[in-house]
């Protein structure tokens, strides 16, 4: 059903882009956002990405859908910049499929030229599982993107088979860690030690850390206590429509 409807859905603009703001933990101000796709189905209502991203990664449609999301993101960045609200980079999710074709760099270059934005206003989120597959291909492509000025973030760090070796080889600017991979269970104390240590490791390596999935005040205070700077999660804001994100940025003084 999803496959039969996807092309039509894209043409009819049933897909849209939500943005989840990222916050500076100490100032509790927005520092940027992450673009997350939504499918507003005319009959079924809102379909969460968890239900279709996997299908599109298998059949290749993810390339087209990501291009759409990236373009909407660039439009939003350009609009904000023209209105005097530059300096709030937005991250986009880059699926593994983009690394096995030749269009990734071309597409990104085309978009930043078309919307007159700087490459460092886009952060490319890549999941660590991609790097485990074909490290040499991925590292060299990522290195080129980084050299061209794009910021590179490792998404869901710690969720899979991330090795310290990857941290050494992969050219990175940002690490995103999701609390859901660490919190809970009977091992809370251990989780805290791991998180604390990863944060200081990343900081020693001059990497920015964004902690995701932050839902409670207790978590916020803990994160502040261990010297973490940036966070994203329902405690601060859910992903919101891009018009809402715009107003949030404009009110973020």
> Judged by CB under 6 A, does residue 160 bind ligand C2E?
no
Please tell me the count of residues contacting ligand C2E according to CB under 6 A. Answer: 20
Tell me whether residue 146 or residue 159 sits nearer to Ca ion (CB atom): 159
Cα–Cα distance for residue pair 31/22, rounded to 1 Å:
6
Residue 49 binds ligand C2E (CB under 6 A) = yes
Q: Which of 95, 162, 228, 242 binds ligand C2E (CB under 6 A)?
A: 95
Contact between 233 and ligand C2E per CB under 6 A: yes
* Contacts (CB under 6 A) with ligand C2E, residues 18-47: 20, 36-37
The stretch near ligand C2E (CB under 6 A) out of 75-83, 104-112, 207-215, 220-228 is 207-215
User: Of the two residues 6 and 214, which places its CB atom closer to ligand C2E in the complex?
Assistant: 214
Q: Which residues bind Ca ion (CB under 5 A)?
A: 93, 125, 155-156, 178
For ligand C2E, give the closer residue by CB, 63 or 249. Answer: 63
Q: Which residues contact 95 (CB under 8 A, 6 or more apart)?
A: 53, 57, 62, 63, 66
Q: Establish how many alpha carbons lie within 13 A of residue 79's alpha carbon, considering only the half-sphere containing its beta carbon.
A: 13
Q: How far is the CB of 43 from ligand C2E (least distance, A)?
A: 20
The distance of closest approach from Cβ of residue 158 to ligand C2E in the complex, given in angstroms and rounded to an integer, is 12
- Contact between 128 and ligand C2E by CB under 6 A: the answer reads no
Cβ proximity to ligand C2E, 42 vs 50, nearer residue: 50
215 binds, among Ca ion, ligand C2E, none (CB under 5 to 8 A by kind): ligand C2E
- Give residues with Cβ within 8 angstroms of 182, minimum separation 6: 158, 191, 194, 195
| Cβ–Cβ under 8 Å, residues 208 and 174 | yes
Q: Any residues with CB less than 8 A from the CB of 142 and at least 6 apart, and which? A: 126, 152, 170, 171
Site residues (vs ligand C2E, CB under 6 A): 20, 36-37, 48-50, 53, 62, 66, 69, 93, 95, 155-156, 213-215, 233-234, 239
């Amino acid at each position: 059903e999803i496959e039969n409807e996807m092309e039509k859905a894209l043409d009819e603009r049933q897909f849209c882009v939500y943005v989840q703001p990222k916050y500076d933990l100490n100032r509790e101000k927005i520092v940027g956002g992450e673009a997350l796709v939504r499918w507003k189905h005319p009959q079924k209502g809102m379909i969460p990405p968890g239900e279709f991203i996997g299908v599109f990664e298998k059949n290749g449609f993810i390339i087209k859908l990501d291009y759409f999301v990236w373009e909407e993101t660039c439009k939003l960045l350009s609009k904000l910049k023209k209105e005097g609200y530059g300096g709030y980079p937005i991250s986009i999710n880059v699926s593994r499929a983009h690394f096995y074709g030749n269009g990734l760099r071309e597409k990104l270059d085309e978009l930043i030229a078309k919307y007159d934005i700087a490459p460092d206003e886009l952060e490319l989120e890549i999941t660590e599982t991609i790097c485990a597959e074909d490290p040499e291909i991925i590292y060299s492509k990522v290195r080129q993107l980084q050299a061209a000025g794009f910021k590179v973030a490792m998404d869901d760090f710690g969720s899979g088979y991330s090795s310290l070796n990857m941290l050494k080889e992969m050219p990175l600017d940002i690490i995103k860690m999701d609390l859901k991979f660490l919190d809970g269970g009977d091992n809370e104390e251990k989780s805290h030690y791991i998180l604390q240590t990863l944060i200081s490791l990343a900081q020693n390596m001059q990497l920015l850390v964004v902690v995701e999935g932050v839902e409670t005040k207790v978590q916020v205070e803990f994160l502040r206590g261990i010297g973490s700077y940036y966070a994203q999660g329902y405690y601060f804001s859910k992903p919101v429509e891009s018009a809402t994100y715009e107003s949030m940025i404009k009110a973020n003084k």
